[in-house]
Chains A and B, each alone.
Chain A
Amino acid sequence: MRTAMFAFVLASLVGALGGQAQDGRGNLLRFCPGLGIPCVEITQEAYDRGHEQFRQSCGFCHGPTAAGGNGGPNLIYSAVIRRDNQGADITKLIQEGRPDKGMPVIPLTATQIADIVGYLKARVAEVDKTSGLRPSRDYDLKKLLTGNAELGRAYFNGAGQCATCHSPTGDLKGIATKYPPIELQARLMYPSGVRQDATVTDASGKQFTGELLQQDAFDVAIRTADGVQRSWPSRSVKVVTSDPLARHLELLSKHTNADMHNLFAYLETLR
């Protein structure tokens, strides 16, 4: 049923765009606000075209992204747009204006209106979000570079205890060129994806060493060097683990926000 629902939305969107969303060029954008809420799909070209048309024809009052501008309401919250069926209501509004609310008739062609309809429907689905955003891998370094590299260096060599394991001329040489800035910021605090090893001794005394996959009160699982995953009930084996990130974890509760930004600024100098 959910598939059917998506298909319906796509069909209605395509209808609104007069088939232009299916022109076969460029990337398809897919905006899914949340579980079971219809997604909206639109090509990048159709989105950009609609956005540009909106900017030109509507942006002055409603803002360039439909989120409100000089006197015009934020259309993200507009009941007309949210309840619109296949573009008819929006089209009528553009063609007839809202004289009582000071909105003039906007002289546009049917194609231009269809572009705006497509953009607005996509925009609503783009802005509605049931979970937090993820900073993209190309998150701008300038946004992150607010710390003091000198203070970061001092912290690295002093209170931060980083220098007890790491060296700017050794393992961290050129670190700023190895990771996108957004990843480096997270990794300097606690690197993700670092493998933890364990040695499991079973009841017969046989030992297995490998990457630790799970360990809790009930089960322990490792991947041995041959690539095989093995698991045991925890109570039946002895497990010795080594966590290379134990010091990082210890220090996590000691770092401050300023320490993080200063350390980041310092590591960004290691190019």
Chain B
Amino acid sequence: MRLLLGLAMTTSLLAQGVNTGMLLQRPTKNWPTFNGDYTGQRFSPLKQINTTNVGSLTLAWSFQTHQAAMKATPLVVDGIAYFSVPDHVWAADARTGRQIWHFSRTSSGDHLASRGVTMFKDRIYFGTPDAHLIALDARNGTKVWEVEVADWKFGYYISAAPLVVKDKLLVGMSGDQLNMPGFLDARDLNDGKLVWRWDAIPKPGEPGSETWPNAEIMARGGGMTWVQGVYDPALNLTYWGTGNPHPVYAGNVRRGANLFTCTLVALDVDTGKMKWYIQTSPHDTHDRDANQTPILIDGDYQGRPRKLLAMASRSGYYFLLDRATGESLVTVPYGGQKWSAGVDERGQPIPKPEAEPTVDGAFFEGTTTNWWTPSFSPDTGLFYVNGSHGFSIAYLMPNEETGKVEDHQGGGATSLWSETMLLALDYRTGKVRWSRRASGATGGNGILSTAGGLVFTNESGHLVALNAASGKVLWHVNPGGNLTGSAMSYELDGRQFVLTPVDGVLYAWALPE
């Protein structure tokens, strides 16, 4: 009887699901979307767990998926957590971790990652390794519809959680095994049908096509949209980063800036038309894509309030822009580098020819980050990002028989030395306020900042809670693996939880009851 009553209550709660209003507020009780809200800040206003008590944080529950690393950020809506790995989606009680349902579907294609699911009303949406888009009934995990977005046999797959904007799902595309063009789809929430498609690569004669040597190489030029973008409802613009050009290391076959790869773009959400762009790694030859989360900040810049966009890009440059116009305000490296000869008049780094991979090897120094989520705390004014700095030798490796670049990579790099670190940047200047060096790889650890004065992330294989202002460690634990996704926070029955995906296990942390 209690079970039945529980089910009935759950159903009635679920009927609410996610609505637009929820996505426009900072996340408190719920964490209703990949980044918590539309800004990409990953800042939780919750402060029950704070600098004075985080030392007593304890395990509330855990969920074992028995699957590969969870690179998602879990959602929590109305007391239920939703999370995914490739081919699997789960719903679990966010109080206890008890499984409510499990959806699984065997698929072909690249199983590198599922970076989460998306909820709107009572539907769960996600992309698959074979580049399909699926809608589930959030109450029971049964499939409502499924559409093919691209052909997986050409290396396409979907790892990013779709972004809900108005009546559309913005579906980013992944693919990095074959030289193919990237795009971003807007699809109808109700049936997955295509509303508009923004192509990352121009057609011959279109703006940007002059940055490619010929139509043939341009047609396969890359620019995948594999990390979820952000949205400004007042400006009606959505902001997405694009992936590297193809072939990856072979700049010699694609002379020019290779627009719109490694580019941050602002698109009109109704039409998909580009309003402005900035290329974060022009003519990229080191896989320095722009697939990092841009963060929207309404804050002061040089004494007056501005609608800003901040991005710590994989190129090792921090960008601060006016997000209405794309005007470049700051472009500075956030770590050591020798591949760039400065910044052009648009605020874009200028690559040095000698850093481009060559058959005899090109010495390369750079600082970088990747898809793992940064965070911004309006309380500290700091932009937090996990990155690395290192040296390598990069090689151009054409086919031995034909002397032509034929494979998707076109070369590779030998790493000489690298170090990983967490950086706290002043959002106005991009200057490093404090940093923490770590051992081991950075792989995947996203960042959450909270009004409790805390930053949650991974360092040297430990989950850590740091003082957001100083970087001092206030709590840490070795959870038996690295944080592979991103931490998030929610409140249920008056108790604040922090969820952390660690390999195949989801851990929920809270203060002792």
- Interface set of A (CB-CB < 8 Å, partner B): 1, 5, 33-38, 63-65, 67, 76-77, 79, 82-83, 126-135, 143-146, 182, 185-186, 189-190, 192, 214-219, 249, 252-253, 255-258, 260-261
Contacts and interface: CB of A to CB of B under 8 A. Distances in A.
B360 A190 contact: no
Interface of B: 86, 106, 108-112, 129, 151, 153-155, 176-179, 220, 248-249, 287, 336, 338, 354-355, 359-363, 365, 391, 393, 395, 397, 399, 401-402, 404, 406-409, 411-414, 416-417, 436-440, 459-462, 473, 476, 478
Contacts of A182: 414
A126 B331 CA distance: 39
A1 B408 CA distance: 27
A216 B509 CA distance: 24
A59 B487 CA distance: 53
13 contacts: A36-B129, A64-B402, A67-B399, A67-B402, A126-B407, A128-B155, A132-B412, A182-B414, A185-B393, A190-B416, A252-B365, A258-B354, A260-B361
Contacts of A129: 177, 407-409
Contacts of B460: 216-219
Contact of B391 (A131, A143, A189): A189
A1 B106 contact: yes
A260 B393 contact: yes
B132 to A, nearest CB: 15
A35 B111 contact: yes
Shortest beta-carbon contacts, A-B, top 10? A36-B111, A132-B412, A216-B460, A216-B439, A133-B412, A190-B416, A67-B406, A82-B153, A128-B177, A146-B360
B406 A190 contact: no
Contact of B417 (A79, A126, A249, A257): A249
* Majority DSSP secondary structure for residues of B touching A: loop
A133 B406 contact: no
B478 A218 contact: yes
Contacts of A135: 395, 397, 412, 414
A257 B408 CA distance: 25
Given A33-B177, A77-B220, A216 B406 contact: no
A38 B109 CA distance: 8
B110 A36 contact: yes
A36 B177 contact: no
Given A64-B401, A146-B360, A132 B409 contact: yes
A185 B402 contact: no
Contact of A256 (B220, B249, B363): B363
A143 B220 contact: no
Q: Is the interface of A mostly helix, strand, loop or mixed?
A: loop
Contacts of B399: 65, 67
B194 to A, nearest CB: 20
Contact of B178 (A76, A79, A253): A76
Given A34-B112, A36-B129, A133-B397, A217 B407 contact: no
Interface centre among A130, A186, A192 (most CB of B within 10 A): A130
Contacts of A36: 86, 109-112, 129
A128 B408 contact: yes
Contact of A133 (B86, B220, B395, B437): B395
A34 B220 contact: no
Contacts of B402: 63-65, 67
A216 B110 contact: no
B414 A133 contact: no
Given A77-B178, A132-B248, A190-B391, A67 B404 contact: yes
Nearest to B438: A216
Contacts of B404: 67
Given A34-B177, A126-B407, A132 B413 contact: yes
Contact of A35 (B110, B287, B407, B412): B110
Contacts of A128: 155, 177-178, 407-408
Nearest to B355: A257
Nearest to A185: B361
Given A134-B412, A189-B363, A253 B336 contact: yes
Contact of A37 (B177, B248, B391): B177
A236 B377 CA distance: 33
B108 A5 contact: yes
A116 B191 CA distance: 42
Contact of A217 (B220, B355, B459): B459
Nearest to B416: A190
Given A82-B153, A218-B460, A38 B108 contact: yes
A36 B85 CA distance: 13
Most chain-B CB neighbours within 10 Å: which of A34, A126, A214? A34
Given A214-B439, A249-B417, A257-B355, 9 more contacts: A65-B406, A67-B399, A67-B404, A83-B153, A128-B155, A186-B414, A189-B416, A190-B391, A260-B393
Contacts of A253: 336, 338, 365, 391
A80 to B, nearest CB: 11
B76 to A, nearest CB: 28
A133 B409 contact: yes
Contacts of A219: 460-461, 478
A217 B463 CA distance: 12
Given A82-B154, A143-B359, A144-B361, A134 B414 contact: yes
A133 B411 contact: yes
A128 B248 CA distance: 12
A261 B178 contact: no
Contact of A65 (B108, B338, B401, B412): B401
Nearest to B129: A36
Contacts of A67: 399, 402, 404, 406
Nearest to A130: B177
A35 B336 CA distance: 32
A169 B86 CA distance: 57
B159 to A, nearest CB: 11
A258 B338 CA distance: 13
| From B112, B179, B406, B462, residue with most partner A Cβ within 10 Å | B406
Nearest to A127: B407
Nearest to A189: B416
Contacts of B354: 256-258
Nearest to B412: A132
A255 B364 CA distance: 10
